[in-house]
Amino acid sequence: MFTGRGDSGSTDTVDRSRESKSSARIDVEGAIDESISFIGMALVKSKWSDIIADLQQCQEDLYLMGEDIGFQGKKKKLGEDRVQWIEERTRAYKEEIGKIRLFVIPGGSEEAATLHIARVVSRSAERRIVHLKEHMEISKSVLKYANRLSSLLFMMAVVSNKRLGITERLWDIGIIS
């Protein structure tokens, strides 16, 4: 489907206003959409019901985040309860992993690799949200959730490899003094 309305370089926003496709706001909308899509790829590769359920919840939260940003908090909002949820889930995966040695080289299994890609894409979306904050009000819950999402996806990737019996490859950063 196409309308041709965007042929001049502008597009409709979620609040039905028109804006340049190069604007920071449209960039964030696209970055959130990318995150939702890459999480979808990770979701279909996952073998674990808890990870599948959590990835589905992350997608829903990202839609909510997009609406929060798009309507500047005047409609649905991503609340602090979502931040608490993502923190709880991250801690649960961390407990399963135990001690984490940084820096993990992404890979191991296809499942973990797709989670790492989703992690990197979500981190990019976070940077774009922070940039947008220079131009408009962004809620603290949105900023916190965006910051926490990559940590959750990292933990899921490491847990996936652990459950599959795959040892993580680590980058030797040398001695830190």
| Domain locations along the chain | 21-70+83-170
**Which overall architecture, per CATH, does domain 21-70+83-170 show?**
Up-down Bundle (1.20)
Q: Which residues contact 108 (CB under 8 A, 6 or more apart)?
A: 157, 160, 161, 164, 166, 167, 168, 169
**What is the pLDDT tens value at each position of the chain, 177 positions in all?**
777 767 677 767 777 778 777 778 888 999 999 999 999 999 999 999 999 999 999 999 999 999 999 887 778 899 999 999 999 999 999 999 988 766 887 889 999 999 999 999 999 999 999 999 999 999 999 999 999 999 999 999 999 999 999 988 878 776 554
- As a dihedral over the C-alpha atoms of residue 118, residue 78, residue 72, residue 27, rounded to 10 degrees, the angle is 0
Q: Residue 80 and residue 30: Cα distance in Å, rounded?
A: 23
